[in-house]
């Protein structure tokens, strides 16, 4: 990474990094030719929209280029500056690229008299958008739609449409998506992991990670702690909060949400913090309150946990964390994993649960006159889509829990149904339980019931059963 | 900061230059496109998020031998040799294969043309061809700019632009993705990507402009 830095407010000789120093760079942010560029400006002076225009002129995606803005406090600590640059560089290398659908234009507030007759250049915010190649909307999943507090997402005919102007970029849909298909290009799991790794790798002393909201002002730096921005703290799940501890952080905390866009964000974040502590306690980590603190610097930092793991912020990160933390049984309303069970008597084998499951935790297999439904606990994110879409009351139930016994045992069979055979070709007609259900719904029409239950779909048009 | 009228002119120019990309490629046209984008840059193109994709297209176009672009243009948008046809025509992408259905799309565009007081002089392209739709949107932006310059708010023209863009955002992403899969020279894939980026941006920009016009927030 070739860093171009503003040399107005900082003596870069003290930092000990190879950088290109430029006087007055913040006021006139020139972009040099070449690739792998990064910039460091001063919080007080940098005109970011001007820099973004220059970056576009030079052919760069402004979201891809790391721009570190140093505050007065940051500049007083060379270690801190090195860590911030290391983290920004690492994050940039994991930038996945954005699509036009990820960019929301926002008009800055109009303040000047002149601007009454003029159009302000928009600034751009990244917003999440579903990746159609992995999105489960085609099979009926609406997890993102159900969680959006701004009604910016809509499900119609198997497609999720996204109203960018209504979207506030809170990121809750990203956290809720069981398939990891909802992508905000500035906050992908691999970027977060790389950024936290960069911050922690730059310090030998115990370091804390403070999650904070990207849409409000960053919290004032606390010695020994580094901030990591997420779209909003209201999106944080227990395993995300715990995640930095398994990357070597001594402690984690969540800053108060100061953007005020979703009033319930602080309540959600507090609940997730409490759940993270309960999970750690259930896993036998005694000092959970010191590891997941009430605020940055609430209690002294000690050495990090002796456990390490990667991939905690992805769609199946909760299972990765559960595996790393070891034996634990934690039943909780906020547990990010689920355990499915099916009542053999109530289930008709319609396979709706397997069809709709966006993370392929429930699957169906059919062989030799038998239909089986299988469950893979490490893939279940407790989204509840299977329960919501099941047409039979009480046939399927979800237990929100991290259960290491289930995870250890792995894939298991939920239910098996005998399948009726076609009297003409011998192929499959339907599970017998489903045919009984249809028969009871049709009442006494014996001829129709016999026709439906005796021949398969392929033969139904050409075969009459008497 | 860009004057409202200048913004309409910039958007007019963007539609125009993209539209030129769907015409038959020639050395002169490539030069005109290069000059057009340079003029747009002077008007503030780089303030907008779609600018890198427009630059990427111009770079790809200027870096590809014109014969190769012309061949690929025929293969993709013309005769569709070796099954590569990706028709840049709205009814071909949104319409169902029923008698009279393509005409419904063409009639909708012709209706906008009639209300805007413009007519199609060159009839070798159907009214719902992407080139024609982009030209029409360009003309509507020009009318908006003239209205604003005369003291109006341009809302009548913005509404018509929105009628066009709402449908374009439904089919252009799929079109761009198919062109990206089939184009072997890169220049047409870059053109389709730039069109997609611009059209998606326009759908948001028009909503912002209309909200300001209706709400009188300024």
Give the pLDDT confidence score for residue A116 in this predicted structure. Answer: 52
Q: Is the pLDDT of residue B83 over 80?
A: no
pLDDT score of B119: 83
pTM of the entire predicted model: 0.89
- The answer to whether residue A415 scores a pLDDT higher than 90 is yes
pLDDT value at residue A466 = 63
Task: Tell me which H or E stretch contains A362.
Answer: strand A362-367
> Residue A117 pLDDT > 60, yes or no?
no
What is the predicted pLDDT for the residue at A453? 84
For residue A351, give the nearest of A366, A337, A339, A341 by alpha carbon. Answer: A366
pLDDT tens per residue, range A158-168: 889 999 999 99
Highest mean pLDDT among A34-38, B126-130, B192-196: B192-196
Residue B50 and residue B83 in contact, taking contact as beta carbons nearer than 8 Å? no
- Can you spell out the DSSP letters for A439-457? HHHHTT-HHHHHHHHHS-H
Q: Three-class SS string for chain B?
A: CEEHHHHHHHHHHHHHHHHHHCCCCCHHHHHHHHHHHHHHHHHCHHHCCCHHHHHHHHHHHHCCCHHHHHHHHHHHHHCCHHHCCCCCEHHHHHCCCCCCHHHHHHHHHHHHHHHHCCCCCCCCCCCCEHHHHHHHHHHHHHHHHHHHHCCCCCHHHHHHHHHHHHHHHHHHHHHHHHHHHHCCCCHHHHHHHHHHHHHHHHHHHHHHHHHHHHHCCC
Complex prediction ipTM: 0.88
Residues of B in contact with A105 (CB under 8 A): 48-49, 201, 204-205, 208
Q: Is the pLDDT of residue B215 over 70?
A: no
Cβ–Cβ gap A165/B200 under 8 Å: no
Residues of chain A contacting B201 with CB distance shorter than 8 Å: 100, 103, 105
Residues of chain B in contact with residue A110, where contact means CB-CB under 8 angstroms, are 217-218
Indicate if the pLDDT at residue B217 is higher than 50.
no
Of A400 and A139, which is predicted with more confidence? A400
| Interface contact B1, partner A, CB < 8 A | yes
The distance of A120 to chain B (nearest Cα, Å) reads 5
How many Cβ pairs within 8 Å bridge chains A and B?
A: 73
Q: Euclidean distance between the first and final Cα of chain A, in Å?
A: 78
Rg (CA), chain A: 27
Query: What is the per-residue pLDDT across A335-374, written as a single tens digit (0 to 9) for each?
Result: 999 999 999 999 999 999 999 999 999 999 988 789 999 9
The fold for domain B4-215 equals: TorD-like (1.10.3480)
C-alpha to C-alpha distance for B85 and A38, rounded to whole angstroms: 42
Domain range annotation of chain B? 4-215
Chain B neighbours among A 73-112 (CB < 8 Å)?
A: 100-101, 103-105, 107, 110
Residue A110 has pLDDT above 70, yes or no: no
Domains of chain A in start order, with CATH, are: 1-76 (no CATH), 338-416 (3.30.70.3270), 418-460 (no CATH)
């Amino acid at each position: 990474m070739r860093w171009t830095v503003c040399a107005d407010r900082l003596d870069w000789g003290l930092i000990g990094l190879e950088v290109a120093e430029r006087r007055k760079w913040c006021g006139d942010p020139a972009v040099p030719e070449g690739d792998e560029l990064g910039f460091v400006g001063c919080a007080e002076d940098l005109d970011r929209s001007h820099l973004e225009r220059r970056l576009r002129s030079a052919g760069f995606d402004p979201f891809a280029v790391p721009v570190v803005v140093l505050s007065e406090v940051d500049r007083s600590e060379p270690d801190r500056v090195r860590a911030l640059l290391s983290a920004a560089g690492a994050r940039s290398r994991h930038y996945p690229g954005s699509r036009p659908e990820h960019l929301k234009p926002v008009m800055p507030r109009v303040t000047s008299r002149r601007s009454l007759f003029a159009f302000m250049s928009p600034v751009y915010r990244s917003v999440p958008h579903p990746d159609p190649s992995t999105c489960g909307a085609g099979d009926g999943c609406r997890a993102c739609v159900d969680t959006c507090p701004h009604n910016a997402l809509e499900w119609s005919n198997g497609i999720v449409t996204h109203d960018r102007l209504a979207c506030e970029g809170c990121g809750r849909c990203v956290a809720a998506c069981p398939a990891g298909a909802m992508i905000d290009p500035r906050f992908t799991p691999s970027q977060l992991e790389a950024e936290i790794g960069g911050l922690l790798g730059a310090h030998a002393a115990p370091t804390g990670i403070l999650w904070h909201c990207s849409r409000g002002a960053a919290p004032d730096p606390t010695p020994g702690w580094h901030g990591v921005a997420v779209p909003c703290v209201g999106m944080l799940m227990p395993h995300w909060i715990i995640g930095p501890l398994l990357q070597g952080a001594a402690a984690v905390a969540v800053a108060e949400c100061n953007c005020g866009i979703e009033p319930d964000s602080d309540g959600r974040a507090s609940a997730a913090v409490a759940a993270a502590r309960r999970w750690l306690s259930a896993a036998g980590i005694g000092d959970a309150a010191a590891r997941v603190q009430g605020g940055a610097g609430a209690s002294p930092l000690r050495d990090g946990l002796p456990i390490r793991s990667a991939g905690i912020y992805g769609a199946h990160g909760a299972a990765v964390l559960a595996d790393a933390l070891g034996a634990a049984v934690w039943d909780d309303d906020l547990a990010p994993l689920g355990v499915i069970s099916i009542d053999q008597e109530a289930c008709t084998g319609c396979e709706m649960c397997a069809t709709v499951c966006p993370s392929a935790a429930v699957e169906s297999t059919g062989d030799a006159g038998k239909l089986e439904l299988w469950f893979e606990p490490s893939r279940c994110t407790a989204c509840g889509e299977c329960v919501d879409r099941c047409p039979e009351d009480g046939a399927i139930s979800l237990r929100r829990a991290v259960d290491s016994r289930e995870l250890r045992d792995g894939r298991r069979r939920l239910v098996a149904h005998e399948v009726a055979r076609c009297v003409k070709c011998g192929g499959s007609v339907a599970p017998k339980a489903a045919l009984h259900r249809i028969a009871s719904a049709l009442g006494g029409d014996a001829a129709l019931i016999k026709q439906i239950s005796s021949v398969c779909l392929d033969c139904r048009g050409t075969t009459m059963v008497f | 900061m860009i004057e409202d009228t200048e913004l309409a002119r910039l958007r007019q120019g963007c539609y125009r230059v993209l539209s030129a990309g769907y015409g038959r490629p020639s050395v002169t046209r490539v030069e005109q496109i290069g000059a057009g984008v340079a003029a747009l840059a002077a008007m503030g193109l780089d303030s907008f998020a779609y600018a890198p994709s427009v630059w990427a297209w111009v770079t790809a176009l200027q870096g590809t031998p014109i014969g190769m672009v012309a061949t690929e243009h025929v293969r993709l948008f013309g005769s569709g040799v070796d099954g590569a046809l990706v028709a840049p025509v709205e009814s071909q992408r949104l319409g169902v294969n029923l008698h009279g259905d393509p005409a419904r799309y063409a009639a909708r565009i012709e209706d906008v043309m009639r209300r805007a007081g413009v007519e199609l002089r060159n009839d070798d392209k159907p009214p719902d061809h992407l080139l024609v739709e982009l030209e029409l949107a360009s003309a509507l932006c020009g009318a908006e700019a003239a209205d604003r310059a005369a003291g109006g708010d341009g809302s009548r023209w913005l509404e018509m632009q929105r009628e066009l863009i709402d449908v374009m955002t439904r089919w252009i992403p799929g079109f761009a993705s198919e062109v990206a899969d089939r184009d072997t020279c890169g220049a047409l894939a870059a053109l389709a990507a730039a069109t997609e980026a611009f059209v998606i941006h326009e759908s948001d920009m028009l909503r912002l402009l209309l909200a300001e016009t209706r709400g009188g927030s300024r």
